[in-house]
Amino acid sequence: MSLQGRSVVITGAGTGIGRAIAERALKEGALVTAVGRRRAALEELATDGPAQAVPEDEAAPGAADRIVRAAVERFGALHGVVNNAGLARFGRLEEADLEEFDRMLAVNVRAPAELIRCALPHLRAVGGAVVNVSSVGGVLSMPGRSCYGASKAALNSLTRSLARELAPEVRVNAVLPGPVDTPMWQELGLTPEGTRDLRENLLSATPMGRFGTGEEIARWVCQLLDPDLAGWITGALVPVDGGRTT
Ligand SMILES: NC(=O)c1ccc[n+]([C@@H]2O[C@H](COP(=O)([O-])OP(=O)(O)OC[C@H]3O[C@@H](n4cnc5c(N)ncnc54)[C@H](OP(=O)(O)O)[C@@H]3O)[C@@H](O)[C@H]2O)c1
């Protein structure tokens, strides 16, 4: 129960990797403020006890402030922020919809920055931690996925710079997943054949020969939140990727 009594905001907690992080954090005793746009998905967590659902579009004006206030009002403090919510739209640059690129930057970069900023006074007060769920796409060259990769590279840069800027009071790290089976794979903006080809290519580029699971990502996120395990780790970009970046 290494996160016992620690209040943690988790974005994108209703599905996929975020759901696995929320379930893992609850198992470890955390008090979870679960954020996403769809209330029903969030309420599948134990929202009558150690978890609360806060349905918000985190890119909307004022959302970060409302999320932080909800966490502090319900649980009395804020020890951790997990910026997991993300948007992935793939495609070659000539065909890319630049409004979708703006949306990716808003959800994958600006919203995490704003949430960290709003949470800072509370995180500073308790020696808290931030974990950003980025992607191996932020460190690899990714033809056909350049806009998404650029948004995750920006999140990596934010992580490393803020680690120095906010030390020693607040630690800031990122986990970089390789391919994980989640609902994201149905919403990439590719044709079914394009999605199938991409999955096959990624499998052959992954030395461990399989996709990861949300739980495999969640364990590392929770370890980085835990001051007993990770109290001397900040600015780390931790690949959890089946060897994809080797
Ligand atoms: N799956 C992979 O292979 C993979 C690999 C590397 C990195 N990642 C990263 O892992 C993270 C989680 O993705 P996933 O694979 O678990 O996909 P997912 O199931 O589609 O999760 C994305 C979550 O973000 C939430 N979300 C999206 N836009 C939001 C917004 N504006 N405000 C609030 N919540 C929002 C969604 O909930 P609502 O729709 O209800 O808002 C959803 O729960 C993302 O940052 C993704 O880039 C995934």
Residue 243 falls in the annotated catalytic set: no
Check pocket membership of 80 for ligand 1, CB cut-off 6 A. Answer: no
Q: Residues 164, 117, 101, CA angle at the centre, nearest 5°?
A: 95
Q: What is the pLDDT of residue 1?
A: 66
Query: Which residue in 148, 175, 206, 223 is the catalytic one?
Result: 148
CA–centroid distance, 234 to ligand 1, in Å, is 23
Peptide bond between residue 177 and the one before it cis (omega within 30 degrees of 0): no
> What atom of ligand 1 comes closest to residue 217's alpha carbon?
10
> What atom of ligand 1 comes closest to residue 20's alpha carbon?
16
> What residue ranges in 99-215 does DSSP mark as E strands?
129-133, 171-177
CA–centroid distance, 213 to ligand 1, in Å, is 14
CA–centroid distance, 102 to ligand 1, in Å, is 16
Residue 69: enclosing H or E segment and its boundaries?
helix 63-75
Q: If the chain, 246 residues long, is cut into consecutive pieces of 10 residues, what is the mean pLDDT of each piece?
A: 93 98 97 97 86 97 98 98 97 94 98 98 98 97 94 98 98 98 92 92 95 98 97 98 96
Walk across the sheet containing 7-11 and list its strands. 51-55, 31-36, 7-11, 80-83, 129-133, 171-177, 237-240
Instruction: Report d(CA 153, CA 134) in Å as an integer.
Output: 8
Check pocket membership of 38 for ligand 1, CB cut-off 6 A. Answer: yes
CB 171 within 8 A of CB 233: yes
Q: What is the pLDDT of residue 125?
A: 98
> What atom of ligand 1 comes closest to residue 88's alpha carbon?
47
Q: For ligand 1, atom 1, name the residue with the nearest CA.
A: 180
CA–centroid distance, 15 to ligand 1, in Å, is 7
> What atom of ligand 1 comes closest to residue 180's alpha carbon?
3
CB 230 within 8 A of CB 4: no
Fold of 7-239: Rossmann fold (3.40.50)
Q: What is the pLDDT of residue 229?
A: 96
In the chain, domain spans: 7-239
CA–centroid distance, 186 to ligand 1, in Å, is 12
Check pocket membership of 110 for ligand 1, CB cut-off 6 A. Answer: no
Check pocket membership of 221 for ligand 1, CB cut-off 6 A. Answer: no
Instruction: Report d(CA 172, CA 208) in Å as an integer.
Output: 28
Q: Residues 227, 152, 157, CA angle at the centre, nearest 5°?
A: 60
